[in-house]
Amino acid sequence: MNRFFKNGVPFALFLALLLLLSACSGNAAKSGNTGGEASQAPEPTAAAEETAGKTVYPLVVDNFALGGEAGWQDKQQTFDKAPERVVANTQPAAELLIRLGLTDRIVGVAALYSEGSPDIAEEFAKIPVLSEAYVGKELVVGANPDLVLGRADLFADADWGVGTVEGLNELGIKTYMQNTGRKGATVDALYKDIETLGQIFDVQEKAAELIATYKEKAEAIKAAAPSSEQRTFAYVSMGANDTVAVYSGINDTYQSDALGLLNLKNAFGEVEGEISVEKLVEANPDILLYSNYAGGPDLEKTIAAIYAAPALQSLTAIQNKQLHVINFDDFWGYGPEIFTGVEKLSEKLKQQ
């Protein structure tokens, strides 16, 4: 993951914010509210997959909130009826709602950092865009939603945040933070999100179909993995002063679990804080991943600069031309597009 803001915000600023968000997750893990098995979403029940029941309102949903020093905190949301006006704080969150047949419920979307999924582009074009970048609370509330949902770490009182869960709830607006954004989440958290949204909107049958589709896709990706041997990877980007920056991804367990379908393991998945280039060279991962997004740095120049970096010439990944570009929204959209991203990477790895 190599950016948090669009249109030229320096990597150093992004990294500082990212570390702050990571610290929140870390504090939550220490307090026992998240992390490890406690944060991993359970498998959907057989009844949810095999039958299409009807939601009985009021419906109480287990979700959570970001509580500053306390980190992630459990917080229930009660729905008296299916939401009719929804703001999705990212493009992938809106696309998930579209796949559930809920396009007409979406009154706003933000964070358009990719071209989106072509198969639902026509439906997506019907949705009002609140901001092509991350959107603030004022614009979100101005859309008069009864539900705000999406990427968990964007629920904050900041220019880039939609407002806190508590603040939105006080205005009578329900919230749903995607379970895929919590430390400890695996791809099972995606199935839990889809199942829960199916209940909230009373579209359980469609949700069950999506879950079955994505489970099959995950198994197919795993079966077609380019290597049976485990290999390591690291996330890299260009930082300040044309230096290579390394991102640990310690809290991005959803992404790591999906990449595990290809027998890939994050070389720094348990490392907190900054990682020096020296540590990168010492770990010598087999593969380097660079996250690209719409409006980001020039891709060709960035890739060329990483390959040419003097400090990296001893890396196996550099010598073997194993620096691969991944799409930001595929991996950090916290939705089912992660399977698309993993499939694309799998094909690239098979070609080399």
Contact 73, 64 (CB under 8 A): yes
Could you tell me the pTM of the whole model?
Answer: 0.84
- Per-residue pLDDT, averaged over 334-339, amounts to 96
Say what the pLDDT of residue 124 is. Answer: 97
Distance between CA 112 and CA 90 in Å, rounded? Answer: 7
Say yes or no to pLDDT of 309 above 70: yes
Tokens of residue 77, six digits:
């949301």
Say yes or no to pLDDT of 108 above 90: yes
- Per-residue pLDDT, averaged over 192-197, amounts to 98
What band does 70 get if pLDDT is binned at 50, 70 and 90? low
Q: What is the DSSP letter of 275?
A: B
Tokens of residue 231, six digits:
């290999």
- Per-residue pLDDT, averaged over 232-242, amounts to 90
Distance between CA 75 and CA 89 in Å, rounded? Answer: 19
Q: Which H or E element spans position 79?
A: strand 72-79
| Residue 101: CB atoms within 10 Å | 14
Say what the pLDDT of residue 294 is. Answer: 86
Tell me what the pLDDT averaged over the chain comes to.
87
Say what the pLDDT of residue 40 is. Answer: 43
Amino acid sitting at position 325: V
Say what the pLDDT of residue 27 is. Answer: 39
Say yes or no to pLDDT of 97 above 80: yes
Q: What is the DSSP letter of 38?
A: G
For residues 52 and 140, the model is more confident at: 140
- Per-residue pLDDT, averaged over 71-90, amounts to 95
| 3-class state of residue 83 by DSSP | coil
Distance between CA 193 and CA 199 in Å, rounded? Answer: 10
CA distances from 16 to 238, 245, 273 (A): 15, 13, 10
Say what the pLDDT of residue 1 is. Answer: 37
Burial of 319 (0-12, 13-18, 19+ CB in 10 A): exposed
- Domains of the chain and CATH, by start: 41-221 (3.40.50.1980), 227-350 (3.40.50.1980)
Per-residue pLDDT tens over the stretch 14-61: 444 444 444 444 433 333 333 333 334 444 443 333 335 899 999 999
**The dihedral of CA 109, 114, 116, 121: what is its sign?**
positive
Distance between CA 331 and CA 346 in Å, rounded? Answer: 14
Say what the pLDDT of residue 15 is. Answer: 41
Q: What is the DSSP letter of 44?
A: P
Contact 152, 182 (CB under 8 A): yes
What band does 233 get if pLDDT is binned at 50, 70 and 90? very high
Comparing 37-41, 137-141, 224-228, 275-279, the range with the smallest average pLDDT is 37-41
Per-residue pLDDT tens over the stretch 243-264: 999 999 999 999 999 999 999 9
Contact 300, 264 (CB under 8 A): no
Distance between CA 244 and CA 309 in Å, rounded? Answer: 8
For residues 70 and 261, the model is more confident at: 261
- Per-residue pLDDT, averaged over 154-179, amounts to 96
Say yes or no to pLDDT of 195 above 90: yes
Name, in order, each residue with C-beta under 8 angstroms of 92's C-beta and a sequence gap of 6 or more: 329, 333, 334, 335, 337
Say yes or no to pLDDT of 186 above 80: yes
Percent of the chain with pLDDT over 90: 77
Tokens of residue 6, six digits:
């669009």
